[in-house]
């Protein structure tokens, strides 16, 4: 970034160079705890987007031929650089997004795990071979890169989710155009600087910034072969429909309403800690946040304990020591979350803990909402039907575990779910009967490590392959199947084969 009038400008990355946009359309990057303008981010022009894609298209010609070991070594270097710069990356992230420094380091680290996995691409991008499928005939497969791929990432994980995308796309031999969130692009750009330092060649990774026009340009561009998206259901559905109609591969991870079931036999203190952390951490701004807890049977008496646990969490700026809950990302987010809390009251839910308008000394202009808990929530209420994306927990009741499972399965979303119990039989029944793609057993946020893939389901996902892990290797490659026969020089030709059989 460079400074103009004391406010830095966020750059585009095109063909290995960080360049100033020529656009007339700029937005402020704002610290959500102070409202300080940290930088100005450009909304790229159509010509700049075309240049970024053209750079990726040109670089693909040589990058796809780069030996797999050479690609892997770049990511070995990249993971080292991320580790060495972890504190700096977390500080940038906290300043622009608001989450606590500890959580910001977690954001970076969960992305780093994917970079480490990308460094093992030699063991992941493997084809298969069947010998002698017919007389003297072998069949084998190659997993070959697609070309220029693109990623559209959200504000809530500005380090982790870009790192879900471009390392695996590039490691498999593709080139990449990234559009980070315009709300907090600074840590993403620092990660891109480190990627170039690690040895990613010019044109292999490009970055453009912007809003709906840039998203549409990515969906429409004929030279982009695949699009990865993480964000809201509304935008994700638009991206999936538009990009797939343009002939692209598309994967969209979208909204959620994640439920946890608490059985009466659950370990009480561990369960309360897990629920509070998963519901209110990152101010509830996680697609895998725990936003509904279903208390079964005698566990319904735990509500006062849950409120007491939530009251122990400290609301403050993310940079302050001991902070548990930082600010929401923007003034608009604050207004939306506050409005939904009021809607919950109006619709008859019992407000057990009201986190609105907390007193945060020194940060009076911050976008703060403290932990908020509703009980008596029903399926018809707005606070149940909508993804609040704030530190708001809906508590519901069920007489039996099967009643709770039916409630969860009736919800259209399927990102994640959890059960808290000491019963192996109950846990196994839950994992078999629940219709949700990612299941935690005494784990409140069951986001898989990169050896597996992110497997949200139903209305939380469009596309059949998830980010990172084995599935994303399939997503970013085309399987080419070769059937070959080599004739012995002395072999005498047989009769003409006019059948479909291999002979």
d(CA 143, CA 480): 6
362: left (phi over 0), alpha (psi -120 to 50) or beta: left
Quickly tell me which residue has 């469009």 as its tokens.
Answer: 462
Asked whether the beta carbons of 447 and 466 are under 8 A apart, the reply is no
> What is the DSSP secondary-structure string of 16-57?
TEEE----S-EEEEE-TTT--EEEEEE---HHHHHHHHHHHH
Q: Report the alpha-carbon distance of residue 270 to residue 210 in Å, rounded.
A: 43
- Residue pair 231/152 in contact (Cβ under 8 Å)? The answer is yes
What's the number of CA atoms in the CB half-sphere (13 Å) around residue 258? Answer: 31
Closest by Cα among 329, 272, 269, 328 to 295: 272
At 68, which helix (H) or strand (E)? helix 68-84
The answer to whether 197 and 227 are in contact (CB under 8 A) is no
- CB atoms < 10 A from the CB of 2, how many? 9
The values of phi and psi at residue 311, to 5°, are -70, -15
**Is 3 strand, coil or helix?**
strand
Q: Which two tokens stand for residue 23?
A: 């656009």
Classify residue 348 by its DSSP letter.
T
Cβ–Cβ < 8 Å for 440, 419 = yes
Q: Where do we find the tokens 């990152």?
A: 282
Q: Which residues contact 146 (CB under 8 A, 6 or more apart)?
A: 174, 225, 226, 249, 476, 477, 478
Residue 287 appears among annotated catalytic residues: yes
Q: Which of 192, 252, 287, 394 is catalytic?
A: 287
In whole angstroms, what is the distance from residue 317 CA to residue 405 CA?
37
Q: With H, G, I as helix, E, B as strand and everything else as coil, classify residue 161.
A: helix
Contact call for residues 392 and 341 (beta carbons, < 8 A): yes
What backbone torsions phi and psi does residue 38 show, to the nearest 5 degrees? -90, -30
E strand or H helix that includes residue 301: none
User: Which tokens sit at 58?
Assistant: 């040109």
| Residues with active-site annotation | 287
């Amino acid at each position: 970034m460079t400074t103009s009038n004391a406010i830095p400008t966020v750059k585009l990355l095109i063909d290995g160079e960080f360049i100033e946009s020529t656009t007339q359309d700029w937005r402020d990057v704002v610290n959500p705890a102070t409202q300080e303008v940290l930088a100005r981010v450009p909304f790229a022009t159509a010509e700049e987007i075309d240049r970024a894609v053209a750079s990726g298209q040109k670089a693909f010609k040589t990058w796809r031929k780069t030996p797999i070991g050479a690609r892997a070594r770049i990511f070995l270097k990249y993971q080292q650089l991320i580790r060495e710069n972890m504190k700096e990356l977390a500080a940038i992230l906290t300043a622009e997004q608001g989450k606590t420094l500890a959580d910001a380091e977690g954001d970076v680290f969960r992305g780093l795990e994917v970079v480490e996995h990308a460094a093992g691409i030699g063991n992941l991008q493997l084809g298969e071979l069947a010998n002698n499928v017919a007389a003297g005939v072998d069949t084998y497969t190659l997993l070959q890169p697609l070309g220029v791929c693109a990623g559209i990432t959200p504000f809530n994980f500005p380090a982790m989710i870009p790192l879900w995308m471009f390392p695996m796309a590039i490691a498999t031999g593709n080139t990449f155009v990234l559009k980070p969130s315009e709300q907090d692009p600074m840590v993403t750009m620092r990660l891109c600087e480190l990627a170039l330092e690690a040895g990613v060649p010019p044109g292999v990774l490009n970055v453009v910034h912007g809003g709906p026009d840039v998203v549409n340009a990515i969906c429409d561009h004929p030279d982009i072969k695949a699009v990865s998206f993480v964000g809201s259901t509304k935008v994700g559905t638009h991206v999936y429909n538009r990009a797939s109609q343009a002939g692209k591969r598309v994967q969209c991870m979208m909204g959620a309403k994640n439920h946890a079931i608490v059985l009466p036999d659950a370990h009480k203190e561990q369960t309360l800690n897990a629920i509070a952390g998963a519901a209110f951490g990152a101010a509830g701004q996680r697609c895998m946040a725990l936003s509904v807890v279903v208390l079964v049977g005698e566990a319904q008496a735990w509500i006062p304990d849950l409120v007491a646990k939530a009251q122990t969490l400290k609301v403050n700026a993310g940079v302050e020591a001991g902070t548990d809950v930082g600010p929401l990302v923007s003034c608009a987010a604050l207004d939306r979350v506050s409005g939904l809390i009021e809607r919950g009251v109006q619709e008859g839910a019992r407000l057990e803990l009201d986190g609105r308008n907390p007193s945060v000394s020194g940060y009076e202009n911050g976008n703060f909402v403290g932990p908020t808990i509703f009980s008596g929530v029903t399926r018809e209420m707005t606070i149940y039907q909508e993804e609040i994306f704030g530190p708001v927990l809906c508590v519901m009741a069920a007489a039996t575990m099967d009643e709770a499972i039916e409630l969860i399965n009736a919800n259209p979303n399927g990102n994640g779910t959890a059960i808290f119990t000491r019963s192996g039989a109950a846990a196994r029944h839950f994992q078999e009967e629940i219709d949700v793609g990612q299941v935690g057993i005494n784990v409140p946020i069951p986001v898989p490590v990169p050896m597996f893939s992110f497997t949200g389901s139903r209305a939380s996902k469009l596309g059949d392959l998830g980010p990172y892990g084995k599935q994303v290797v399939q997503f970013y490659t085309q399987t080419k199947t070769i059937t070959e026969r080599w004739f012995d020089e002395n072999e005498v030709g047989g009769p003409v084969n006019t059948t479909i059989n291999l002979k």
